[in-house]
Structure 1
Amino acid sequence: MVNERTQPVPRWAVRAAYASALSATVGFIPLHAAWAAGIPLWADEARFRDWYAQGGGTYLLVLSGLAALAGLLTLSLVRPWGLVFPRWVPLLARRKVPRRTLVTTAFAVAAFLLLYTVWAAWQVAGDFTDDGIFSPWIVVYGIPQFLVWSIGLFLAAWSYRARTT
């Protein structure tokens, strides 16, 4: 069920949303799941073990769950269930999705991810000391991934906002 005041989703917005969702799930979750499982991939093994023992694994599982939610958020901006809750959602089935809440959340997450990306790049490009757990080369993997994630989410949110009323 689509509101008659909703315009079709542009192809560029669908591509941006799927690129962002894939970056959040396929790009982010596998590496963080490996770390959550205690595998010190691209990490100093001794420091990693200490960090992991102090709750690092739980932290990474929570981050992976949030990444999965961010992927769903992004797809909701270009799928019908971003307009009307699916019938299997308890208490909300077939009700209109609150547009302002969805748009505000999407822009806030996109802004946070972009700021985090800039901060992470600045940290690595700056005077990097040897105190880190993870290799500074992780930035070669992480920065492009976070840029795709944040920019794709921003574009999908922009499209959703522009075409819904």
Structure 2
Amino acid sequence: MNSTTMTAAERGPARTGVLRRWPEWAPWAATLWALGYGLTALGWTLTGAGFPVGRADPDRQMSLLGGVPADVGAPLFAAVALAAAGTGAVMARYRPGAPVPRWWRRFAVGFGGALTVVLLVVVPDTRILAVAGYLPMILVKAPFDAEMRGQVGDALGVEHLHQVIALAGGFLWAAATVAYARRTVGSCARCGRPDRSATVAAVLRWARPAVYVAAAIPALYAVTRWIWVAGVPLGIDAQVHEEGMADGSLWAGAWLASFALVGTVLTLGLVQRWGEVFPRWIPVWRGRRVPVGLAVVPASVVAVLATSGGLGLIRVGLSDNLITSDDWAAVGPALLWPVWGVALGWATLAYWLRRRGRCADCGLR
């Protein structure tokens, strides 16, 4: 990779957008998030009420944390979050060039990485993925359907809000940890350059297989759901299929299947020309370059939700013996969602590496 630098005059004026300055504010934002969450969890501990996960969760079978009792989980969450707030403050105060003990850097990066995984993969479950999948339908139909608005209101609870907050904290901690890790080794906090060319080449080399895997799994899920609404009980109990057709519940699955197929097409765009330049048939934007964030941000969110939701379904399937030869299509395709999430994450990273261009901060390409 060409790592030629530019002078400040060649780079032009610094980009001052808030999102472009994420390495500056992300560590502080992650610290404030951890402090707020820690104080809230401390409140759960002292009052004995409000803990939104574990045995207090009415649908805890969906969660990887479903068996955690409040008297254990609340103080544990408080201790970890408050420790994260202290760690984040130290990370945020770091200035490039300052000496950092090796043990501290390893601890901070490891702690931040572990906290990111817990917040993005362990805390969320299948329910938040379902909300994301049905969100387009809700936005289109709910304003004109009072019954749907009531159903949505009844379905959403404090557990969903807690998972959204956890996801926000997870992405903040991912950004804060990456920025700190880069700064403490002398790399550009925004782009990571100069990076290891061998690692980048390996990611790019496996991009196309990752895209095909990430596109095939939701397509498989979608095909089974549309076969059901076509009247064929493929991989599902015939009586369950008949009841689902009668009450219309299978059509909700078909909607989610349609959204999955849209995701399949958009995933293929990560390695196609039209994923970089809007095709001619799209009005207004035709011929313009696709903003990198327009592809990377939603793909990253879906990758996280698919991984966490899939792990939750695996837990349910194994604990309730739902994985059988007669009903394989009911749960089987969803058991591949963790693979889908990992493959989509890999493909998204490769897309970003291929399209990131010259960094406006360090000038490296």
TM bucket normalised to smaller:
0.7 to 0.9
Whether the 8 Å contact between 2:307 and 2:339 is mirrored in structure 1 is no
Question: Could you say which structure has the larger radius of gyration?
Answer: 2
1:14 to 188, 193, 208: 208
**1:69 and 2:278 correspond:** no
Residue aligned with 2:306, SS: helix
Displacement of 1:136 in angstroms is 6.1
Task: Map 1:69-108; keep pairs closer than 5 Å.
Answer: 69-108=262-301
Cα distance, 1:149 vs structure 2: 2.3
Aligned equivalents of 1:136 and 1:22: distance in 2? 17
Counterpart position of 1:135: 327
For residues 29 and 46 of structure 1, the distance between their equivalents in structure 2, rounded to whole angstroms, comes to 21
Structure 1 letter corresponding to 2:352: R
Q: Does 1:158 align with 2:349?
A: yes
TM-aligned CA deviation for residue 30 of structure 1 = 2.2
Residues 20 and 71 in structure 1, CA contact (< 8 A), matched pair in contact too: yes
> Does 2:224 correspond to 1:31?
yes
Please list the CA deviations of residues 106-137 of structure 1 after superposition, one character each: whole Å capped at 9, or x if unmatched. Answer: 011111111121111010111448xxxx8268
Structure 2 CA distance for partners of 1:84 and 1:136, relative to 1, 3 Å:
closer
Q: Is the 8 A contact 1:85 1:94 kept in 2?
A: yes
Task: Flag as ranges the 4+ runs of structure 1 deviating above 3 A.
Answer: 136-142
Displacement after TM superposition at 1:85 (Å) = 0.4
Tell me the amino acid that sits aligned with residue 135 of structure 1.
D
Query: How many residues are aligned here?
Result: 153
Q: Distance in 1 between matches of 2:243 and 2:320?
A: 24
Deviates more, 1:76-85 or 1:35-44: 35-44
**Structural mapping, 1:116-131, within 5 Å:** 116-128=309-321
Larger relative contact order, structure 1 or 2 (CA cutoff 8 Å, min sep 6): 1
Structure 1 pair 51–140 and aligned structure 2 pair: CA distance change class (3 A): closer
Contact 2:204–2:354, Cα closer than 8 Å, also in 1: no
Q: TM-score, normalised by structure 2?
A: 0.38
Matched, 1:109 2:328: no
Instruction: Report how far residue 105 of structure 1 moved.
Output: 0.4
Query: Aligned partner of 2:341: which letter?
Result: S
Q: Give the direction of change, closer, same or farther, for the CA distance of 1:124–1:10 in structure 2 (3 Å limit).
A: same
- In the alignment, the residues of structure 2 paired with residue 58 and residue 33 of structure 1 have an alpha-carbon distance, to the nearest angstrom, of 9
**Which residue of 240, 243, 246 corresponds with 1:47?**
240
> Counterpart of 1:95 in structure 2: which amino acid?
R
Partner SS for 1:118: helix
Q: Describe the superposition over 1:77-123 as per-residue Cα deviations: whole angstroms up to 9, x where unpaired.
A: 11111111011112221112121121010011111111121111010
Give the whole-Å Cα distance in 1 for the aligned partners of 2:312 and 2:255: 21
Distance 2:347 2:209 in 1: 9
Give the residue type in structure 2 aligned to 1:155.
W
Distance 1:137 1:36 in 2: 13
Distance 1:117 1:53 in 2: 28
Please tell me whether the aligned partners of residues 124 and 136 of structure 1 are also in contact (alpha carbons under 8 angstroms): no
Deviations 1:13-46 (A, max 9, x none): 0111022212222x22321211121322222222
Q: How high is the sequence identity, in percent, across the aligned residues?
A: 29
| Counterparts of 1:109 and 1:24, CA distance in 2 | 11
Give me the whole-angstrom Cα distance separating, in 2, the residues matched to 1:14 and 1:135. 32
User: Closer, same or farther in 2 for the Cα pair 1:83/1:156, shift >3 Å?
Assistant: same
